[in-house]
């Protein structure tokens, strides 16, 4: 398939007029014969860092990972093991790389600023990551930018929460501003006392002196707009996808989202562009969206890194989100974001086999599903843990969804 | 696009009836939490071993490479550096893996047999590799199997060569039986004395006491049939491709070969199947073919490993040859071999930039060609050396070929 016209929006495809990539300057890294190579340092050794390894190998990029512990998903590329909260550890790691990027959004601001002060390019930068680290700051910023968000409030007391509930139909979603992921730190309440334990422990969380409360959105489905932006401005967008959550965790992604061509794609693209420039995001980022019953798109969450909603790009797009992220943080021209097949479906492998490794099921799973692409994070199975995913692509959504679901099912019992 | 019907020939898709994969037995390898992982050992650290890294990461396979020297293309996966001619070195390397396979076909027979005697699964095995190591043995075997080959003879003297020339139109191709690749060890002659230096030095080559002479085939084009076979029998075939050589080196590959659906695909598939079973090949292998002016297919060369004619599969097929090779040598079910786009063109990067690294050209090359997929082997540029390749895919062959050629051109001046 040729690239979909929506994939690269002309107005946003701003090519660099000045070169800020480290490629243009001499660097310390060399390969055997003494030629300069490009070194990207990734803080965090999880599956997102792991999935940057294949495109780094393809492009001849020296990927270096600072892992939290030995034996993590990205251990093949780990050149250091240490605590990313420690400034000296991170500065030492950053000494040999051309740019620092991330497996997650949790590196503290003081560490990020120490890197910047030391002259290390950091993408996304501290100012952008601040919004990803604090949901209250993010909601405030998005509101200031005039972007469509659910009704929300900062609440410091049960009384304030009850006032919000009374004004918003009696149901709301309460979130801890920091530290939540995959449904953690998120609670649906219909009375203020249901969040009393969180108010009690607010003080214990240090910087968190309030909770975020949002209206309970009556959504038809959840969508995500995956995009990438270079420091010098170029922005590219993949097709909008539909993400299906179970128990607060992404279970499946349908790419593109059925019926999203046209208005939905246009609105989502505009939102992503406004977010990128408004928040100064660099690298790959994902805007998670609610499609409401009354046909609006509201911003749910924002991830400033490759994202589960973009894993389908590994096997369904001309450029995977992991290759694109490397290109973006190096300020290299971005790759085409069209679909290589009309439909790709991603199904997460949650938990994994109860009695062994994913590879124990390869004989049966691969035999039954020769078109399925298996991604194994090399992590020990554990209930609810994301240990891998399956992509399947083709011309019929029902067939593709069946293949991906059926192949993934081999690994989940 | 759905898989082409030619991709998996029903009669050859023989699924395993008995399991011989090392997955079924406990192995020494573990990941952090103690679960068994699959370990594949590759002898040789060149770009073919390097390109096995991405699918190994995807599938959670622990790829271990015995590299000839430090800093080779596959250094990221190198767990040992040593001489593959040395039995003890190779046996020590093989101790920690579930199967041994290869980056090249040059491992000596005594080393291969020592591995087999030690109980190590070796794919392809010594008996198959023997034919890849000696062109005279290969020609004899293919002739014995009744497969279509050019007229050929074993010649020990200039007189015998002249007799062959006189009987075959006055032109012929002389080949040293061992050690040739990329046009080396191959010479077109029209008089026997043009090979006199090779006859003089025959004795110096040890085992080589004769030359191979073949008719000079009046071919229309060169084709290649890439295939993969599991030890337990399953065989899959990718579409036939056209390969364009310059100075004896593969320059471009067009996938599928224009006009090859139907008779050509059927004949090539039958040849590959007969070769695979007749020679006992396991893993990925490539049969290079001449398409003659009178519409015959003749076997030119045979490679028992992933092959340059199959690099297009990385970005143009549901299963890349490198993933397939890992699956095949582990006796896992093979992946679908259909095209993800109607056309993929691969263009080799030969030599590389005269004044720097491939990455120095990324800004211009990637900017001009956002759909091109760059594969950088991490090797120092050197005239004529294969240092990378570019794949481009799409619905129009002319457009795709232009993209691949134009992107590759950025790296070759």
Element (H, E) at A391: strand A386-394
How confident is the model over B195-237, as pLDDT tens digits?
A: 998 888 876 665 568 999 999 999 999 999 999 999 999 999 9
A chain contacts of residue B333, beta-carbon cutoff 8 Å: 362-363, 366-367, 370
B chain contacts of residue A358, beta-carbon cutoff 8 Å: 60
Contact between A341 and B336 using a beta-carbon 8 Å cutoff: no
CATH number at residue B102: 3.40.50.20
DSSP-assigned letter for residue A305: S
In a domain, B137, yes or no: no
A311 and A352 in a single domain? The answer is yes
Min CA distance, A12 vs chain B (Å)? 14
A55 and A163 in a single domain? The answer is no
B308 has binding-site annotation? no
Distances (CA, A) of A17 to A229, A276, A277, A335: 15, 19, 17, 18
Distances (CA, A) of B172 to B167, B190, B220: 10, 6, 17
B383 and B337 in a single domain? The answer is yes
Task: Check residue B119 and give its pLDDT.
Answer: 97
* B21 SS3 class: coil
Structure tokens at B184: 């080396």
Cα–Cα dist B4/B317, whole Å: 10
Contact between A340 and B371 using a beta-carbon 8 Å cutoff: no
Contact between A357 and B70 using a beta-carbon 8 Å cutoff: no
Q: How long is chain B?
A: 413
Task: Check residue A38 and give its pLDDT.
Answer: 93
B216 has binding-site annotation? yes
Under a CB-based contact definition with an 8 Å cutoff, are residues B164 and B153 in contact?
yes
Measured between CB atoms, which of B58, B318, B371 is closest to A336? Answer: B371
Q: Which residue has the tokens 């896992």?
A: B332
Domain ranges, residue B367: 219-409
A contact test, residue of B333, B387, B390, B392 with most A CBs within 10 A: B333
A chain contacts of residue B318, beta-carbon cutoff 8 Å: 370-371, 373, 393
Element (H, E) at B168: none
In a domain, B1, yes or no: no
Min CA distance, A313 vs chain B (Å)? 12
Contact between A374 and B19 using a beta-carbon 8 Å cutoff: no
Measured between CB atoms, which of B60, B318, B370 is closest to A333? Answer: B370
Asked which of B215, B240, B267 is the last residue of a domain, the reply is: B215
Contact between A388 and B8 using a beta-carbon 8 Å cutoff: no
Asked which of A99, A120, A141 is the last residue of a domain, the reply is: A120
Count of the separate structural domains present in chain B: 3
Strand order in the sheet with A186-189: A152-155, A211-215, A172-175, A186-189
A chain contacts of residue B358, beta-carbon cutoff 8 Å: 60
In a domain, B138, yes or no: no
Structure tokens at B195: 């090979």
Q: In the beta sheet, which residues pair with residue B67?
A: B81
A chain contacts of residue B378, beta-carbon cutoff 8 Å: 31, 37, 60
Measured between CB atoms, which of B37, B366, B371 is closest to A357? Answer: B37
**Neighbour tally for A174: CB within 10 Å:** 22
Under a CB-based contact definition with an 8 Å cutoff, are residues A265 and A6 in contact?
yes
Under a CB-based contact definition with an 8 Å cutoff, are residues A161 and A197 in contact?
no
B contact test, residue of A363, A397, A398 with most B CBs within 10 A: A363
B contact test, residue of A12, A17, A35, A389 with most B CBs within 10 A: A35
Q: Burial-class residue B294 by CB neighbours within 10 Å (0-12, 13-18, 19+).
A: exposed
**Neighbour tally for B127: CB within 10 Å:** 14
B81 and B106 in a single domain? The answer is yes
In a domain, B13, yes or no: no
**Neighbour tally for A295: CB within 10 Å:** 10
Measured between CB atoms, which of B36, B362, B371 is closest to A3? Answer: B371
B175 has binding-site annotation? yes
B379 has binding-site annotation? no
What does the pLDDT profile of chain B (413 residues) look like in tens digits? 333 332 333 333 322 222 222 333 323 333 334 455 799 999 999 999 999 999 999 999 999 999 999 999 999 999 999 999 999 999 999 998 999 999 999 999 999 999 999 999 999 999 999 999 999 999 999 999 999 999 999 999 999 999 999 999 999 999 988 876 556 788 999 999 999 988 888 766 655 689 999 999 999 999 999 999 999 999 999 999 999 999 889 999 999 999 999 999 999 999 999 999 999 999 999 999 999 999 999 999 999 999 999 999 999 999 999 999 999 999 999 999 999 999 999 999 999 888 888 999 999 999 999 999 999 999 988 898 999 999 999 999 999 999 999 999 999 87
Cα–Cα dist A242/A5, whole Å: 19
A chain contacts of residue B363, beta-carbon cutoff 8 Å: 16, 19, 21, 23-24, 332-333
Burial A55-72 (b: 16+ CB within 10 A, else e): bbbbbbbbbbbbbbeebb
A99 and A178 in a single domain? The answer is no
B375 and B248 in a single domain? The answer is yes
CATH number at residue B304: 3.30.470.20
In a domain, A348, yes or no: yes
Min CA distance, B55 vs chain A (Å)? 8
Q: Burial-class residue B345 by CB neighbours within 10 Å (0-12, 13-18, 19+).
A: buried
In a domain, B300, yes or no: yes
Contact between A363 and B23 using a beta-carbon 8 Å cutoff: yes
How confident is the model over B307-361, as pLDDT tens digits?
A: 999 999 999 999 999 999 999 999 999 999 999 999 999 999 999 888 888 999 9
Under a CB-based contact definition with an 8 Å cutoff, are residues B59 and B326 in contact?
yes
Contact between B376 and A58 using a beta-carbon 8 Å cutoff: yes
B282 and B337 in a single domain? The answer is yes
Contact between B362 and A23 using a beta-carbon 8 Å cutoff: yes
Contact between B341 and A336 using a beta-carbon 8 Å cutoff: no
In a domain, B240, yes or no: yes
Task: Check residue B36 and give its pLDDT.
Answer: 59
Task: Check residue A4 and give its pLDDT.
Answer: 35
Residue ranges at the known binding site of A for ATP: 135, 175, 214-217, 222, 300-301
A contact test, residue of B370, B372, B375, B391 with most A CBs within 10 A: B370
Residues of chain A with pLDDT under 70: 1-36, 180-183, 203-208
Tally of helices (H runs) and strands (E runs) in chain A: 13, 17
Task: Check residue A354 and give its pLDDT.
Answer: 82
Assembly ipTM: 0.90
A233 and A377 in a single domain? The answer is yes
CA atoms within 13 A on the CB side of A107: 36
Task: Check residue A180 and give its pLDDT.
Answer: 62
CATH number at residue B202: 3.30.1490.20
In a domain, B115, yes or no: yes
Q: In the beta sheet, which residues pair with residue B65?
A: B42, B78
DSSP-assigned letter for residue A334: P
Asked which of A97, A120, A143 is the last residue of a domain, the reply is: A120
- Interface size, chain A vs chain B, as Cβ–Cβ contacts under 8 Å: 183
A229 and A262 in a single domain? The answer is yes
Burial B303-332 (b: 16+ CB within 10 A, else e): bbbbbbbbbbbbbbbbbbbbbbbbbbbbbb
A chain contacts of residue B37, beta-carbon cutoff 8 Å: 357, 359, 378
B111 and B166 in a single domain? The answer is no
**Neighbour tally for A141: CB within 10 Å:** 18
Task: Check residue A185 and give its pLDDT.
Answer: 84
Cα–Cα dist B301/B367, whole Å: 38
B359 and B379 in a single domain? The answer is yes
B181 and B300 in a single domain? The answer is no
Residue ranges at the known binding site of A: 135, 175, 214-217, 222, 300-301
Q: Which residue of B has its CA nearest to A343?
A: B1
Taking the CA atoms of residue A4, residue B312, residue B21 and residue B94 in that order, the dihedral angle to the nearest 10 degrees is: -130
Q: In the beta sheet, which residues pair with residue B66?
A: B43, B80
């Amino acid at each position: 398939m040729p690239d979909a016209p929506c994939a690269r929006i002309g107005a946003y495809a701003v090519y660099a007029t000045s070169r800020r990539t480290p490629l243009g300057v001499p660097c310390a890294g060399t390969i055997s014969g003494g030629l300069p190579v490009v070194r990207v340092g990734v803080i965090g050794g999880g599956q997102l860092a792991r999935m940057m390894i294949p495109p780094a190998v393809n492009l001849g990029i020296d990927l270096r990972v600072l892992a939290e512990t030995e034996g993590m998903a990205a251990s093949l590329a780990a050149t250091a093991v240490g605590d990313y909260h420690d400034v000296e550890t991170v500065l030492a790691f950053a000494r040999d790389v051309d740019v620092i990027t991330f497996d997650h959004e949790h590196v503290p601001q003081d560490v990020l600023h120490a890197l910047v002060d030391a002259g290390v390019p950091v993408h996304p930068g501290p100012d952008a990551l601040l919004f990803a680290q604090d949901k209250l700051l993010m909601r405030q910023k998005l509101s200031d930018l005039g972007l469509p968000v659910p009704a929300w409030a900062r609440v410091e007391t049960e009384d304030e929460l009850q006032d919000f509930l009374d004004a918003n139909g009696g149901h709301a979603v309460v979130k801890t501003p920091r530290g939540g992921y995959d449904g953690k730190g998120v609670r649906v309440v219909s009375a203020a006392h249901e969040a009393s334990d969180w108010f009690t422990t607010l003080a214990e969380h240090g910087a968190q002196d309030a909770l975020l409360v949002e209206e309970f959105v009556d959504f038809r489905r959840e969508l995500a707009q995956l995009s990438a932006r270079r420091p010098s401005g170029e922005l590219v967008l993949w097709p909008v996808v539909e993400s299906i959550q179970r128990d607060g965790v992404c279970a499946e992604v349908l790419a593109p989202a059925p019926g999203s061509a046209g208005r939905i794609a246009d609105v989502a693209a505009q939102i992503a562009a406004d977010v990128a420039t408004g928040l100064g995001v660099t690298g790959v980022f994902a805007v998670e969206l609610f499609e409401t019953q009354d046909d609006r798109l509201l911003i749910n969450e924002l991830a400033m890194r490759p994202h589960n909603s973009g894993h389908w790009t590994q096997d369904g797009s001309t450029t995977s989100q992991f290759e694109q992220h490397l290109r973006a943080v190096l300020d290299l021209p971005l790759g085409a974001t069209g679909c290589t097949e009309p439909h790709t479906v991603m199904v997460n492998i949650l938990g994994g086999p109860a009695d062994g490794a994913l590879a124990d099921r390869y004989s049966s799973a691969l035999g039954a599903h020769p078109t399925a692409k298996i991604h194994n994070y090399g992590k020990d199975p554990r209930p609810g843990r994301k240990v891998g995913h399956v992509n399947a692509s083709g011309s019929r959504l029902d067939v593709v969804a069946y293949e991906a679901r059926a192949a993934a099912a081999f690994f989940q019992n």
